[in-house]
Structure 1
C-alpha cells in the first residue's frame, strides 16, 4: 500500500478543513497512489531548504541575458525575449508559426548535438533547470547559432 501527504501550515489546514465541499477540491484519490511523485516532492523541498536556489535563479536570468545579447542585430532571429529563467527567440523563416516545418528539423539537429531543445515551429525556447552551469547554457546557445545557420543554409 502506498501513502502520500500534504504539508500545510495550520492556517491553511483550518481553511481547507472548515470549507464547504463545494469550495474545495478533494484530490486525495488522485495523488495518494504516487510514491515516486511524493519522493520527488520531498527531495524538491529539501533542495529549496538546503541549497541556494534563489541565487541560482538570479544567475540563470543573467546568463540568459548575456547569451541572448550575442544575437542582437542578427538577421536570422527576431522577437528575442526572456521572462525570468525562460528565454525564447524566433528563427526568421518564410513560413513561421507553431506548425512551421522547420521545428522538427531543428529538434533533430539539437538532439544530434546532445540537447533536448524542442522548438515550437520556428520558436526556440530554453527552459533549463536551475542547476545549469554557464558553460552548459553556453553550449545550448552555441547549438542555436549552429542549427540556425544549417537550417537557413548559411553554414
Structure 2
C-alpha cells in the first residue's frame, strides 16, 4: 500500500490522501502501527499531497492520546473531528486546517473563496455542549481514565485469545475488536443482525460489523460493567461461533 501510494504521489496524480489514523473503523476495525501513518505523511509531504486525517472516531482519546496522529508525531494538513467533540451528547463536527490552507481561501477575490453551505453551522446548543466537554477535559482526570480503560481493554481481551470461537483479537487504546469465527464474514454478513439482537436482549448496545465485534465504551464505564460485556461476548461465541 505504501509503495502504491508513493508511486501515485510521485506522478503527482494525488491531490490528497484521506486516512483514519491507526484504526480503519467501519472497514472492519482494522488497526495499523503508528510508523505506517508517519510514512504516509512523509510520502505526502514529499509530493505536495495533502494529508487529511479523519479523526471523527479516533479523536478525543479513543486511541489513548487526544488525537491518534499524535502517536506518529504527525500534523495533518486537515483534521476532521466530531463525536467526542461534544462527549457524544449531540452532533457537532469541526474541520481544522493549517494556516497555509486557510489563507489559500482567505481573500477579497471571490474566485478564491471556498463556498460551502452554512445551514447547520455553529448550532448554539451543540457548541455549548462542546464547550462543556472541553471543560471536563480541562478540569477532570480524563487522560488518567483513558489510560486505565486502555489497560483494562488489553487485559480483558486476553481471555478471547485462547477462545476457539474468536480470532484476531486487537486493541488500540480504548478500542477493542475481535472477529467471531463463523460461516460468513464481512460487513454484510448475516450474523451481524443476530449478534446485535443477542446483545440488545441483554441490555447491551453493541453494533457488530458483520462478524466483527468491537467495543468503544464510555470512559466512565466500571470494571464490573466491562466484565459483564466480556461475559456476554463469550456467551455469543458459544452460541453463534464455529471452531477452527
Contact 2:182–2:240 at 8 Å: present in 1 too? Answer: no
Match in the other structure for 1:136: 225
Contact 2:165–2:242 at 8 Å: present in 1 too? Answer: no
User: Which of 204, 210, 214 is the aligned partner of 1:125?
Assistant: 214
Distance, in Å, in 2 between the alignment partners of 1:138 and 1:78 is: 19
**Compared CA separation, residues 111 and 43, structure 1 to 2 (3 A):** same
Kindly indicate whether structure 1 or structure 2 has the higher relative contact order, using CA contacts under 8 Å at least 6 residues apart: 1
Shift of 1:101: 0.8
Runs of 4+ in 1 over 3 A off after TM superposition: 22-30
Q: Is residue 149 of structure 1 aligned with residue 238 of structure 2?
A: yes
Match in the other structure for 1:3: none
Aligned length: 141
Shift of 1:36: 2.4
Match in the other structure for 1:66: 155
Shift of 1:78: 0.3
Distance, in Å, in 2 between the alignment partners of 1:148 and 1:133 is: 23
Stretches of structure 2 lacking an aligned partner (at least 5 in a row): 1-93, 106-111
Please provide the CA RMSD for this pair: 2.6
What are the Cα deviations for residues 78-101 of structure 1, in whole angstroms up to 9, with x where unaligned?
Answer: 010011111000000121111111
Match in the other structure for 2:22: none
Stretches of structure 1 lacking an aligned partner (at least 5 in a row): 1-5, 7-11
Choose between structure 1 and 2: higher strand proportion. 2
**Compared CA separation, residues 26 and 52, structure 1 to 2 (3 A):** farther
Choose between structure 1 and 2: higher helix proportion. 1
Aligned 1:58-137 pairs, distance under 5 A: 58-137=147-226
Contact 2:166–2:241 at 8 Å: present in 1 too? Answer: no
